[in-house]
Amino acid sequence: MNEPTSSVHQNVDGEKSARYGLVPYEPPKLALCEEPDMRIHQPDLDNVVFICSRERTPIKEGAERRNIPKATGFFVEMQHGHEPNVVWTYLVTARHVIHNREGITELFVRLRKKTGGYVDHQIDSKHWICSNQTDLAILPFSPQDEFIYSAIPIERLVGPGPDYKYNGPPWGSRDAGVQVGMGDDIISLGLFVQNQGQTGDLPIARFGHVSRMPSIIAKHKIAFLPNGIERKDIVAYLAEFLSWGGQSGSPVYWLYPEGVYMSSKSPQTRGVFRALLGLVVGHLPRLSKPVDKDDETEEIDEVRVKLNTGIAIIVPSEAIRELLMSPEIAEQRKAYLERIKNEHRDDIELD
């Protein structure tokens, strides 16, 4: 059983609730024909981290092996029952990032330091909790105070099918909220593997639309295992934006239609943390036709090239909620809290 590490902290930030929009809803005043705020704010960027692997051989003889960003992850948090002072933080990514094609088990999470620069935190793949139903993996992981990060509250996840309705803050009721639909605006933040930025930790944003509501994607590769590739028929959205190398595991935010979206009175946090639609797990490729016969050599090249169709595959955020609330992980949280309670019996009260 994987035991949570550094995943409980005291919520002493009095402004945290307001930061995440857990306040009475107040729609922004939009001028005639004004569009909703599409700008990416700093807390959105702080939610994203890069997942790296160490290069097998150094770039030149005598040099140290570098950690190379390969994919994206992001943080989700949940409150423990009705106890406001205990919050669980999890790192989320795609399962095929953990059980990868190269068979690499030594992975690193790149965390930015408040004092500048970054630290690559090593995590063995055996500590990840992987879904058996879809391309999803989570890890109990709460960065220390010296690092810059933010997490998406579980209340901000779009709800399950068949409605795929968001009824988190400000609605907070299953009878209220807004339903996701085809054509809705979405934003994804993640790694652009060809260029991670001068500092090596800068995500990019991709903008698009929901192209198809969740349905079955047949034989999706969810894991590369020693005994072969594991394929599953998964439920996923299709989205109109280009998924590229490094985007796997990227969070996808859904913007409320018709200008209805989260905001707070502070212009610095306006529009922060739109509802989480899901995570990117790949794209639908198309095989090009074989190369024609060469008249001079009479040889035929049978190589087919996979072309990117510009349609991304997004695992719904409800899969994250289901994994977090699964009996196995709930038992882990319970056992960890019991241990903390016993160790600090005199100065902590947990339900």
Q: What is the mean pLDDT of residues 278-288?
A: 81
Q: What is the pLDDT of residues 86-124, one digit of tens each?
A: 889 999 999 999 988 888 878 999 999 999 889 999 988
pLDDT of residue 342: 78
Under the banding of pLDDT at 50, 70 and 90, the label for residue 309 is: confident
d(CA 135, CA 144): 28
**What does DSSP assign to residue 155?**
G
Query: Which residue's structure tokens are 């996923």?
Result: 236
pLDDT of residue 259: 45
Is the pLDDT higher at 290 or at 78?
78
Distance, CA of 224 to chain centre: 20
Q: Using the CB atoms, write b or e for 33-48: b if 16+ within 10 Å.
A: eeebbeebeebbbbbb
The pLDDT of residue 263 is above 90? no
Report residue 115 as tokens.
């004092």
Q: Per-domain residue ranges for the chain?
A: 8-20+42-58+66-343
Burial call 323-340: b when 16+ CB within 10 Å, e when fewer? bbeeeebeebbeebbeee
Closest CA to 75 of 145, 27, 138: 138
Average pLDDT over residues 279-288: 79
pLDDT at 307: 65
CB 138 within 8 A of CB 157: no
| Encoded amino acid at 343, one letter | E
pLDDT of residue 320: 97
- pLDDT interval class at 286 (50, 70, 90): low
The predicted model gives 291-312 an average pLDDT of: 62
Is there a contact between 255 and 184 (Cβ–Cβ < 8 Å)? yes
Give the integer Cα–Cα distance in Å for 233 and 212.
16
Picking from 285, 337, 2, the residue whose alpha carbon sits closest to that of residue 137 is 2
The pLDDT assigned to 90 comes to 95
Q: What is the mean pLDDT of residues 222-227?
A: 84
- The pLDDT of residue 13: 37
Please give the single-letter amino acid code of residue 102: E
Checking if the pLDDT of 26 tops 70, the result is no
Residue with more model confidence, 342 or 7: 342
Summarize pLDDT for 315-346 with one digit per residue, the tens.
Answer: 999 999 999 999 989 888 888 888 877 776 65
- Mean pLDDT, residues 206-235 taken together: 90
Q: In this predicted structure, what is the pLDDT of residue 15?
A: 39
The model's confidence at residue 188, banded by pLDDT at 50, 70 and 90, is very high
Reported pTM: 0.78
Say whether pLDDT at 64 is over 60: yes
CATH fold of 8-20+42-58+66-343 reads Thrombin, subunit H (2.40.10)
